[in-house]
Amino acid sequence: MKSLLFSTFLFLSLDTFCQTESSKPLRHFMQPAPSAAHAVQYGNNSQAGRYVKAGDAKIYYEVYGKGKPIVVLHGGIFGSTYEMHQFIDSLRKKFQVIAISTRGHGKSELGTEPIT
């Protein structure tokens, strides 16, 4: 009985905690303010975005600029191509920037095969 009451309390607590209502626009991790309406939506730009197959997963990447190619990868266990926007903006002036959404992030699929 105690475990049933505890489970119910835990479920209701988590449900209440997870339901936050906010009128503020959503932001990406480490983004200080919402994007301007005219800003390039890195990581979700249909004009610059492409896919490549890696095993059974599709990996999403975007290409910007002209010149010698530079690959930009976001890192860690979290992140997105969008978080690299200032870096991409500065590099694309002189280089061809290939911004990759790593496996399981953004529009890239995780796939079912082991990651090697």
Higher pLDDT, 16 or 81: 81
Could you tell me the pTM of the whole model? 0.67
Q: Which residues of 64-86 are buried (b: 16+ CB within 10 A; e: fewer)?
A: bbeeeebebebeeeebbbbbbbe
CB 59 within 8 A of CB 111: no
25 DSSP 8-state letter: P
CA distance 95 to 92: 5
CA distance 107 to 48: 13
pLDDT 10s digits, 51-106: 999 989 999 999 999 999 999 988 766 678 888 888 899 999 999 999 999 888 88
Whole-number pLDDT of residue 79: 72
Cα atoms in the Cβ-side hemisphere of radius 13 Å centred on 80: 14
Higher pLDDT, 36 or 74: 74
Helix (H, G, I), strand (E, B) or coil at 66: coil
Whole-number pLDDT of residue 9: 54
Whole-number pLDDT of residue 18: 46
CB burial of residue 42 (10 Å; 0-12, 13-18, 19+)? buried
Q: Which helix (H) or strand (E) holds 58?
A: strand 57-64
> Out of 8-12, 15-19, 26-30, 86-90, which region has the weakest mean confidence (pLDDT)?
15-19
| pLDDT score of 15 more than 70 | no
